[in-house]
Structure 1
Amino acid sequence: MPVADRIYRGGTIHTMDPMTPTTDAVAIYAGTIIAIGDANCTAATGPDTEVIDLNGRTLIPGFHDAHAHPVLGGLGMVECNLDDIHGYQPYLDRIAEYADEHPDDEWVLGSGWYGDVFTDGFPHRRDLDSVVSDRPASITSHDAHGTWVNTRALEVAGITRDTPDPDGGRIVKDAEGNPIGLLFESAAELVTGLFPPKTPADVELALRNSQDYFHSIGIVGWQDAGVGVLTGSPVDTFHPYISTAEDGRFASKVTAALWWDRAVPYAQQIETVKERRATIQGIDGNRRRGGLQATVVKIMLDGVCENLTGALKRSYRGHDHEHGLLMFEADELNEIVSGLEANDFDVHIHAVGDNALKLAVDALTQNGGPSPARRHQVAHLDIADPAELARMAEAGIIANVQPLWARRDSVLVDTKLPLLHEDQQSHHFIFASMRDAGVRLSFGSDWPVSSPDPIWGMHVAVNRTAPHNDPHGQDDVAQNEPLLGDEKITVGQALRAYTVDAAYANGFDDVSGSIAVGKSADFAILDRDPFEVVPGDLGDILVETTVSAGEVVYQRS
């Protein structure tokens, strides 16, 4: 055994390794764990070994995010960012302030609004006109499925009462047929295609900023759920990922889920994802140290329930003929999945509604189910029929879910639940049912749709209520009335879903996600033990230190 570079002891260490669930010391050498347990670590101690006293704090494996959009999140951080506020007037004040501070920008761009603050859940161009009228403005919703624009932006884009809905999108119009300034799904491209172009350098900066942010909340690895030219992306993000990896700037374990572009013919798209995977495989790197891999392809199958585009088996309540949107018909989806399986890709399908979930599971099991080597996953599963969960468990399909959404916040209560029948509501973010059915849960954030903070996500998974400090869950209902309280899971299950099982979904569980000899030294040091705090205070825990492959990448001041 080599002499350790560093040893951590003096606190509780939760390993997420069932063979040794807890220990009292861990030793690392060259970024790799070489010993656990006080006796073994003492044997690895030399005169130059640095010993870190945890002083009663808690050390856990570093978190992984199984579904995020760090390019969009990173770009949003330098535009008009509404993520940290909630309210009609606060939004307008922030936008007005940003516009005043950027008088030379051709467009006023931003993101992060929640629909519940607007009348009927929809913003109007007049709202935006009141603070920006001299130039076009476009503000993307927090979930990236809606784009709020002002009158000038509609004029520049040539969108009028006579403009038809594009394939896969919707231009929201009032009772007189006039566009109100809200564009859903692909309709946003009528405007986003006119933005001043982002450069690869802009995207590289966004990735670095996002990585720093992730490190500050204990995240050491992520899966970008759509690398390419996905809806809402201002640039092809693949090339900036390549340049960042070639420059050795990823101090994280990163999986690029290559975006399946529905506008590109099938045969051409298959060749594109194969070529992109080969390009990434050609980059030198040590998987224990971090870097980039492309083992997954992301398919967007439906939209979201809040704007009636999530694909449901039963119609939306109050909208008898509306079942949502499918981006692919069943035969087309089956062909795509078969082609990807034949080329050894993992498949990651966005399926919010129960009909989309059924079609996704049909496609992923059409050939008898994925091979044990595949990490197929369905993302979101807002409304999940228990029959589909049984099929997922039998086939080994991962439920890639976003725990922060499973609470009764105002956006859910005001803009989503009214659209769902009672039976649909009863199958809403049913994490315990997924667990009991034997489905593997892997947690992600969908950031910037919602906060990527794993501590907040764990809080909601365990309590089914909002964390104390979440600006989007400050009302009494969100804080105190659980959403389907029987669907809560334990702290241990939530932590596993953010560590070893998220690393599994990302394809890095062989080197990360748990604390075991031979794995990468990927840790988060917490100010308190999540297994010991009162459950209602779980979201108040702070990350003190983040270590990625033995390197301290974040230290709270």
Structure 2
Amino acid sequence: MNERITHYRNGKIFTAAEGGWAESLVVKDQQLIFSGESEFAEILAPDAEVVDLQGAVVLPGFVDAHTHLIMMGFSLQKLDLLDATSIADIQTSIRTFSESNPDAPRPLGRSWLFSALGGQHPTREMIDAVVPDRPVYLDANDLHSVWVNSAALRELGIDADTPDPIGGRIDRDPSTGEATGMLYETAVMLYVWPKLAELATDQDRDTALALAFRRYLEDGVTGAVDMALGPDELDCLERALDAGNGTLPLRVAAHWLMTRGDNDADNVRQVHDVIELHNRVQGPWLAVAGIKIIIDGVIDSCTAAMKEPYSDGTNAEPIWDLESLIPVVTAADAAGLQIAMHAIGDEASEIGLTALEYAIATNGDIPRRHRMEHLESITRDNVERLARLGVVASMQPVHADPAIQENWRAMLGDYRVNRAYPWPEFTEAGAVLALGSDAPTAPHPPLPNMFIATTRMSAIDPSLPPNLPQYALPLAEALAHATRDAAYSCRWENVTGQLVRGKAADFVVLKQDPFTEGVDSLLTTEIAMTVVAGSVRYANCVQNPQ
């Protein structure tokens, strides 16, 4: 069998490695065998097929360090309410969508903001006024709460007697006890998600996954870390793997989403189930990396666990308290699973780090690479503690977009808003910072995400003032955090994330050069080509061999 060797030359290649830049890449089958100056590439591979990059910028393929693939694919098919600025806007959009989709048994929407409600509380009656006869489910922008109408409550079987699950809440009318139509945290996970999963077919899931893969390749993403793996999601990914003869359109590492049970034994039993999956599903294209634990909620709906109360005087209990977390974290750590902990509030990160310290003291010096997700509000002491423990800080610049910060700031309302999303503090403390999107809670394309990272300005409305610009990142650093460090976050550092000899030929070619044209061009730059394992998986222009 003849070896396939391709020389990509005449490029401005950001390697995300020491030295920083190259002119040529030589690809042999799936792997890079050279990265450097063109004259040496020609000596190494004189007979290679040549692709002239014509001075284009080349980056390592983006690795989305935190996403939800199948949820993203479904979300792309839902009504987008991000631009709605009032209840009337939301109602008009729902009515129009419902009328345009008369055969849809249940209109589904996403990305509405609490700030669009003008201080009012969302209720089922607001949706009933425009769609009374079909169940309507509207995901909040953060995906930690869902707004439903009366028909959806009936479909879910939720009434005044339905108990709140551990770590969640069914919002109720204080005078009647009836559900208002807002479901928070584990009430979403235990009522809404299973119902919609039950109603979806395998074909629906396969279509959603294929759509997510296609959009990612179009936007320069060559690897993804899925943070909500369950039985349906794993089956779907394995079907895609079989259909691709053992490959996927891009690399996937996945974390099994843990559900807090009534006792420690049930929780630890889940860990042992994941250990079996981790040992079985451990390939170059799909791997079950470990577990995902959602310690708390989100600041926008006041469900994140904070050290001090919110501006209205309330606070939230963690979904996983320290006592319930320690046995799970200790068991997973001992088994070599990677633990990813959602911790948005400063109290949640305190709990998670304390549990990790206990596990490390118990299990001793073994290989480990754990992660904390989001870290939107965290104390300086815990930034330092996270770095000492070798925990990866997995964060999402898109969540710091000024266009969605109004309610976030109002819910805290004090000095804490001045240390929001402090990305440079983590690297200054010595931690690895991995950047992702958390799609579909936020837009998935990485280049606008990099614009926010480098400016702290809005990709939605660039006219807004920046959100704490002292925390902005230099462009080269931001790109490295979204490629090299994102690969490190899921133990792919020997596989991908840098354009150097011996690593996979995963890279993306841009149509514009943000290094010379300025970071504003990240909002308009198009992807010319996405290459995964040496194969062109997406191209919107023809690059003819010369």
TM-score by length of 1: 0.89
Deviation at 1:16, TM superposition (A): 0.7
The equivalences for 1:216-365 within 5 A come to 216-228=218-230, 236-248=232-244, 249-263=247-261, 265-281=266-282, 287=284, 291-319=285-313, 322-365=314-357
Which among 484, 499, 502 is matched to residue 500 of structure 1? 484
C-alpha contact 2:170 2:179 (8 A) present in aligned 1: yes
Q: Distance in 1 between matches of 2:368 and 2:14?
A: 28
CA distance in 2, matches of 1:388, 1:371: 21
SS at match of 2:111: strand
List aligned pairs for 1:364-443, cutoff 5 A: 364-368=356-360, 373-409=367-403, 411-413=404-406, 415-443=407-435
Moved more, 542-551 or 244-253: 244-253
CA drift at 1:174: 4.4
CA distance in 2, matches of 1:122, 1:547: 47
**Deviation digits for residues 507-531 of structure 1, max 9, x if unmatched?**
2111100001111100111122232
- Please give the per-residue CA displacement for 1:191-236, whole angstroms capped at 9, x wherever unaligned: 554445222332222211111111111000010012016xxxxxx3
Distance (whole Å) between structure 2 residues aligned to residue 167 and residue 333 of structure 1: 14
Q: Deviations over 1:411-461 (max 9, x none)?
A: 311x22111142321221011222212221101111000011111111111
8 Å Cα contact 1:10/1:24 also seen in 2: yes
Provide the C-alpha distance between the structure 2 equivalents of 1:536 and 1:136, rounded to a whole number of angstroms: 42
| 1:305 alignment partner, SS class | coil
- CA distance change for structure 1 residues 27 and 117 in 2, over 3 Å: closer, same or farther? same
Q: Is structure 2 residue 527 aligned with structure 1 residue 525?
A: no
Q: Does the CA-based 8 Å contact 2:65-2:486 persist in structure 1?
A: yes
Aligned residues: 528
Partner of 2:183: 183
Q: 1:192 to 1:367 in 2, by over 3 A?
A: closer
Shift of 1:99: 2.2
The percent identity for this pair of structures is: 28
**Map of 1:83-122 to 2, 5 A cutoff?**
85-88=83-86, 89-120=88-119, 122=121
Conserved 8 A contact 2:259-2:267: no
CA-to-aligned-CA distance 1:252-278 (integer Å, 9 cap, x gap): 111011122223813421221012112
Deviates more, 1:262-271 or 1:81-90: 81-90
Structure 1 segments unaligned to the other structure (5+ residues): 230-235
User: 302-311 or 32-41, which moves further after superposition?
Assistant: 32-41
Give how far 1:368 is off: 4.2
* Contact 2:140/2:147 (8 A) holds in 1: yes
- Given residue 313 of structure 1, which amino acid in structure 2 is its aligned partner? K
* Structure 2 unpaired stretches of 5+: 542-546
1:459–1:465: 8 Å Cα contact kept in structure 2? Answer: yes
Return the letter of the residue paired with 1:465: M
Deviation at 1:161? Answer: 4.6
Q: In the alignment, which residue of structure 1 is the partner of 2:212?
A: 210
Distance in 2 of aligned mates of 1:56 and 1:45: 20
Aligned pairs for 1:17-166 within 5 A: 17-18=17-18, 20-36=19-35, 37-47=37-47, 49-78=48-77, 80-82=78-80, 85-88=83-86, 89-120=88-119, 122-161=121-160, 163-166=162-165
AA in 2 matched with 1:484: L
Displacement of 1:297: 1.1
Query: 3-state SS of the aligned residue for 1:334?
Result: helix
* Partner AA of 1:508 in structure 2: W
Give the aligned residue type for 1:317. S
1:486-525 alpha-carbon deviations (Å, 9 max, x no partner): 1111111100110010001122111100001111100111
Q: Could you say if the C-alpha distance between residues 242 and 56 of structure 1 is closer, same or farther in structure 2, counting changes exceeding 3 Å? A: same
Query: Which residue is 1:233 aligned to?
Result: none
The more displaced of 291-300 and 241-250 is 241-250
Q: Is the 8 A contact 2:66 2:436 kept in 1?
A: yes
Question: Shift in Å at residue 343 of structure 1?
Answer: 0.6
Contact 2:82–2:112 under 8 Å retained in 1: no
Q: Which segment is superposed worse, 520-529 or 85-94?
A: 85-94
Query: Structure 2-normalised TM-score?
Result: 0.91
Cα offset for 1:245?
A: 2.0
Tell me the secondary structure at the aligned position of residue 52 of structure 1. Answer: strand
1:226 is matched by which residue type in structure 2?
A
Alignment RMSD (CA, Å):
2.2
**Conservation of the 8 A alpha-carbon contact between 1:85 and 1:91:** no
Secondary structure of 2:222 counterpart: strand
> 1:129 Cα shift?
1.7
For residues 412 and 154 of structure 2, the distance between their equivalents in structure 1, rounded to whole angstroms, comes to 35
